[in-house]
Structure 1
Amino acid sequence: MTSDQAVAVAGERDTKSDRFRSTAQVLPLPEGLYLISVTPPRQAPVIVRGVSFPSVQLTSIPQPGSVAPRFLHKGELNSSAWLSGTDQAVVVVPAGASPLLITNYLYGGELQVCLDVQVKRLDNVATAPTVGLRLHTHIQQVGEVSFAAGEWAAAEDAPFWVEAIRVEVTPTVGQLLQYRVPGVSTSEGNWMPAPGLLGAPGGRPLSGIAFRLLPPLASTHRVVYGARFLRHGEMEAVDGEPCRSPQPQDPLIALRVAILPR
């Protein structure tokens, strides 16, 4: 549900005792991982066309040269998230990220109370620590270049394709991280355990990517990743879902990956 849709819903039942209100807060966050949760007040929620109020929308304010944070909510990685009840979302804040925009929506009488929003940094969570990794990509006409977790691995602004990748992780993770090119019948379609090489330097471009975690790591963490294709653009996925362009012969020109606590 977008802000415009919410306003439209409110407009259908706009009375003195039953109306739509919102308050917004801008929150810049340094690079890192955060857990945003909400605590509902002691009041019955108002349900309007399947949407529970009060509710909170998480998004960001676009700024020139900045990167939008990503929100992992209910198994999906998106540029925004809606929270209500006791919902929570993990926020991936890259370096140079746009500030968060937290909007609290109310629907009903003046006595309705906003949700309590809590932001907690996850970098030092002992029970489910973040997993460091290094993504090594072999890029057409560039060679091998290394990138940190969550960074876009690409030839800057040039549309050169990715020919091969390998991922280095800590010894405790090792082969519990695997990756492959989905939708192909060659050896690239088989799951490759880290830190194995997927693809061939100097060869044809990768046509897609997927990452997965094996137990016991999969019970405490999830792997999130994205891919950018020459014609189709960007795609996001989690936990083994395929990132592959629906257009034939569309080369992969950038990708990123991170392992996050659940």
Structure 2
Amino acid sequence: MKKLIKLSLAAALAAFAIGSANAQMVTLQTVQDYDGSIQQFNNNQSLTQTFRNVTGVETMTYRFVSNSISTTYATTLEAYFVEWDPSLNRAVGTPIWSPVTLQVIPASNTVGWSLYTDRNGEDYLGYDYTLTPSQNALNSSATYAMILRAVSNTGPGATTRIGLQVISDTYNGNPRDSFAFGAAYQLGGTSGYSTLTSSSSSAISNNSDFGFQQLVITPVPEPSTAAACFAALFVTGLVGRRLYVKRQQAAAALVPVTVS
């Protein structure tokens, strides 16, 4: 009986391992690859970061940047977490998550902005801001996106507008992808959410992403990881069956035989 109990526990642990493989959150960062490129927010412009091959997006900490040492205007943003059509590069249906309150990024001469250094050794002003969509039951075969849309006056010129870091797809001529689970897009002239579902966004550049001080997501497990878990469960089942058969054979051998 004890063996069967241990076997049941082993099977439960193997099943738990499979579940864990399907729900392992990871913390990522892209700001370490920043080399000075910026995508600014113009009036009514939307900047989008997509996600693919994930089952969860917990938190996103963007790093906003100032284009120069000039003071940038405070900027008000709408945020939408949506399902994304990767063939048309636009939002699908209604938002999955969108905070009721607008997100306000303060002027760059206020508290919260800090001085950082990019990978080329150049200093820049940055402001970290966290959104928490807390989506942990996403369809792994679908594509999702977080869209930020500027709804306030972003300033009269390039030196007065905030932007997001663009983590480019090459560095020193070498191709790279700092965040393999998505890409960055932009769309100008968005008058509201309906525009985001009817107009296609343009990729910033192939495989580029925005700068994140932190991203907490749940990727789809690698095929080798899932296969290993299922193999462990299969072996556990085989061992269990073998022990069960042996137990039954031993019990049969102990049945008394009556000789008449």
- TM-score, reference length from structure 1: 0.25
- Which of structures 1 and 2 has the bigger CA Rg? 2
Q: TM-score, normalised by structure 2?
A: 0.26
Normalized per residue, the structure richer in strand is 1
Flag the structure with more relative contact order, 1 or 2, with Cα contacts below 8 A and sequence separation at least 6. 2
Tell me which protein shows more helix as a share of its residues.
2
